[in-house]
Amino acid sequence: MNIQNLEKSTWFYLCITLLLFILPMVITERSLQFIIIQIFIFGIFAMSYDLLLGYTGIISFGHVIFFGLGAYTTGIALDRLGATIGSLVIGAFIGVLLAAFVSLLVGMLTLRLKSHFYAMLTLALSGLFLVAAEKWRPMTGGNDGFTFRLPDIIREPNHLYILCLIFFVLIFFGLRRLTNSPFGKVLMAIRENENRTTSLGYKVVYYKVIASIVSGVVASLAGVLYALSLRFVNTGVFATDLTIDVLLMTIIGGVGTLIGPIIGAGLVELAHHWLSSLADVHWIFERWIILYGTLYILVVIFFPLGIIGTIRSKLAGRNK
Amino acid sequence: MGVIMETKDVTVSFGGHVAVDQVSVQILERKFTSIIGPNGAGKTTFFNLLSGQMKPTNGSIYFKGADVTKRSATERTRLGIGRSFQITNVFPNLTVFENVRLAVQSQAKVRYQMFAHFNQYKQFQEKTDEILALVFLQDKANSLAMNLAHGEKRKLEIAMLLALETELLLLDEPTAGMSLEEVPAIIDVIHEIKQQGNRTIVLIEHKMDMIMGMSDEVLVLYHGELIAKGTPNEIVHNEIVQSAYLGGGG
């Protein structure tokens, strides 16, 4: 079995899933577990972004809106209604509903037009949500944010790890099925040639709006898990930096590949962690963001289609 | 023989330029109609009006008796009007098979199905194989469309059009940009479709021998106006056409 077939094999992913489930028994260090949890969360977030950018060809500069909604509704529900599973479910459910509604609204308003209108409206809306979160202090705690307690059952880090992993795996397999479904193939056709897709009789705008809703809902679930992992929410969850991060994760890993954004999320999270911790070694590493930028440039030069995209392309060339 | 498509005084203008000027034609069902005219005569614009890519400034368009003037390109495809494009218009990063299967799928009621793997739809695979064989592209099924030669891309265009199973096929210069060696293969494909006898074909072409050999009726556009229509033989001997298009002095 060659690497390309391996990539298509469900058994391969199930084996990796199994390994990830037993990982907490091997890696017991809390900080390392926390990084892996963050990789799961940003992996989910990046996959949701990839559904838009990589599969449908829609650029969003405000994908963080949905992430932030999930984080805030979860935080507020757990803070106000008490640290119970019921509050968590209510918070997450409201976050998902709001994300679906906002993505439907933005999609209906802009997806009939050229793709940059979607990018611009999402950028403007993310700014609006950021300001709203800053100003609505009684509810959000403003810039300072607020901390909250987790339900007992997920207070144990291993349990939170398992929860995040379950969501990560379900969302991965769900999106994998979606992108390999008749619907997913139409999304790819839209990315490739929107006018041609229309002339084949597809109502392109419906597909784009549905993709936008699915993507928004998945991003909000990433936000829910993010709030749980930090036990804290502040306006940072609406910051444009996060959208840039998720854009880079997707591009570095390889757009239109699903696995790519996960690899991208892993690399970016590890780079964040290790480069910033190098400050203890030498003062030059206090400016780690410069090294981070250099890393991006190198990846773009040597992996123009992203890591997975470039590897796939090279393998396809070799097999010809 | 019924009329499948009809235009009544169809006009489209861009600013001061009238690209199609009060053209009234009737396309007969299951017949092979060709549209000829020099470059800039408005042939492709007329096709755009028929397929819904463009809306007329004035006039009406009817398909099987129903007014479709205000219908979108998507709606017209669903009604039974399919078209190929003069400039190759495929999905470059998808395989040949996937390109055709997308067209096949568009005719089924599973367009919004997101939870079933596309491989479950064996009928799509079979239909796609059948169409690829018809246009002699079965060997290229797994190649990316972007890697095809120009002539093969044109065949792929026609395959996608056939997959739509529309009653009316609008073929916009299917041999454009092809080498002399590639042209016969496309002619064979079009001839095969004509032989099947269940479609109405409207063709825009510059290759006169192809037009004269295949057409039941020829329409001649010149500066956006319909200047003649008739059988290939009538068109060849039409003096207005000779002076305007075929270069004869009459």
pLDDT recorded at residue A225: 97
Domain extent for A94: 3-319
Question: How close A9 comes to chain B (CA, Å)?
Answer: 14
Average pLDDT for B64-71: 93
What are the angstrom distances between the C-alpha of B14 and each of B11, B20, B40, B55?
10, 10, 13, 12
Q: Is the dihedral of CA A222, A143, A149, A39 positive or negative?
A: positive
Q: Does B118 sit within 8 Å of A182, measured CB to CB? A: yes
pLDDT, residue A2, reads 58
pLDDT digits (tens, 9 = 90+) for A143-153: 899 999 999 88
How far apart CA B120 and CA B102 sit, in angstroms, is 14
Q: B interface mutation test: which of A56, A196, A200, A205 has the most B CBs within 10 A?
A: A200
Contact B111 A183 (CB under 8 A): yes
CA distance B160 to B156: 6
Rounded CA separation B45/B51 (Å):
10
* Structure confidence by residue, pLDDT tens digits, A75-88: 999 999 999 999 99
The answer to which of A188-192, A245-249, A295-299 has the lowest mean pLDDT is: A295-299
| For residue B248, pLDDT beyond 60 | no
Q: In this predicted structure, what is the pLDDT of residue A3?
A: 56
Closest partner residue to B74 among A185, A186, A203, by Cβ?
A: A203
- Residues in contact with A122: Cβ distance below 8 Å, sequence separation at least 6, in sequence order: A60, A61, A62, A63, A65, A106
Q: Which residues of chain B lie closer than 8 angstroms to A210, CB-CB?
A: 112
* DSSP secondary structure string for all residues of chain A: --HHHHHH-HHHHHHHHHHHHHHHHH---HHHHHHHHHHHHHHHHHHHHHIIIIII----S-THHHHHHHHHHHHHHHHHH-SSHHHHHHHHHHHHHHHHHHHHHHHHHHTTS-HHHHHHHHHHHHHHHHHHHHH-HHHH-GGG-EE-PPPGGGTSHHHHHHHHHHHHHHHHHHHHHHHTSHHHHHHHHHHH-HHHHHHTT--HHHHHHHHHHHHHHHHHHHHHHHHHHHTEE-GGGG-HHHHHHHHHHHHHH-TT-SHHHHHHHHHHHHHHHHHHHGGGT-GGGGGHHHHHHHHHHHHHHH-TTHHHHHHHHHHHHHH-
CA dihedral sign, ordered A107, A112, A114, A117: negative
DSSP-assigned beta bridge partners for residue B134: none
Q: Report, as an integer, the average pLDDT of B180-201.
A: 84
B-chain CB neighbours of A200 within 8 Å are 77, 102-103, 106, 160, 164
Q: Which residue is closest to B143 within chain A, CA to CA? A: A320
Q: Poorest-confidence range of B105-109, B141-145, B218-222?
A: B105-109
**Chain mean pLDDT for chain A:** 89
The parent domain of residue B113 ranges over 3-246
Contacts (Cβ under 8 Å, ≥6 apart) of A302: A310
- B100 CB within 8 Å of a chain A CB: no
Contact between A52 and A176 under an 8 Å Cβ cutoff? The reply is: no
B112/A183 touch (CB, cutoff 8 Å), yes or no: yes
Three-state SS across chain B? CCEEEEEEEEEEEECCEEEEEEEEEEEECCCEEEEECCCCCCHHHHHHHHHCCCCCCEEEEEECCEECCCCCHHHHHHHCEEECCCCCCCCCCCEHHHHHHHHHHHCCCCCCCCCCCHHHCHHHHHHHHHHHHHCCCHHHCCCEHHHCCHHHHHHHHHHHHHHCCCCEEEEECCCCCCCCCCHHHHHHHHHHHHHHCCCEEEEECCCHHHHHHHCCEEEEEECCEEEEEECHHHHHCCHHHHHHHHCCCC
Do residue B92 and residue A192 have CB atoms under 8 angstroms apart? yes
Closest Cβ opposite residue B113 in set A182, A199, A206: A182
pLDDT at A6: 64
pLDDT digits (tens, 9 = 90+) for B88-103: 788 998 999 999 999 9
Q: What is the mean pLDDT of residues A23-37?
A: 87
pLDDT score recorded for residue B249: 43
Question: For A47-60, what is the mean pLDDT?
Answer: 93
What CA–CA distances, in Å, run from B6 to A93, A115, B27, B79? 54, 36, 6, 15
For residues A265 and A164, what is the distance between their CA atoms, to the nearest angstrom? 15
Q: Over the stretch A187-203, which tens digit does the pLDDT of each residue have?
A: 999 999 988 898 888 88
Name the least confident of A68-77, A256-265, B207-216. Answer: B207-216
| A147: β partners | A232
Number of A:B CB contacts under 8 A? 86
Phi, psi of B85 (to 5 degrees): -110, 150
pLDDT exceeding 70 applies to what percent of chain A? 96
Instruction: Report residue A15 as tokens.
Output: 């084996």
Per-residue tokens: A177? 């099925």
Residue B221 confidence class, pLDDT cut points 50, 70, 90:
very high
- More confident of the two residues B245 and B233: B233
Q: Is B83 on the interface with A (CB under 8 A)?
A: yes
Q: Which residues pair with A295 in a beta bridge?
A: none
Nearest by CB to B102, which of A181, A200, A210?
Answer: A200
Q: Is residue A5's pLDDT more than 70?
A: no
Question: How many folded domains does chain B comprise?
Answer: 1
Take residue B217 and report the two structure tokens written for it: 């009726």
Number of domains composing chain A = 1
Q: Chain B residue with minimal CA distance to A206?
A: B112
- Which CATH number is B35's domain given? 3.40.50.300
For A:198-257, CB contacts with B below 8 A are: 198-204, 206, 210
Q: Which residue of B has its CA nearest to A200?
A: B103
CA B31 to each of CA A109, B78, B81, B194: distance values in angstroms, whole numbers, following the listed order: 44, 21, 15, 9
The residues, ordered by sequence, that sit 6+ positions from B200 with a Cβ below 8 Å of its Cβ are: B4, B5, B27, B28, B29, B30, B31, B33, B167, B168, B169
B89 Cβ partners below 8 Å, 6+ apart?
A193, A195, A196, A199, B157
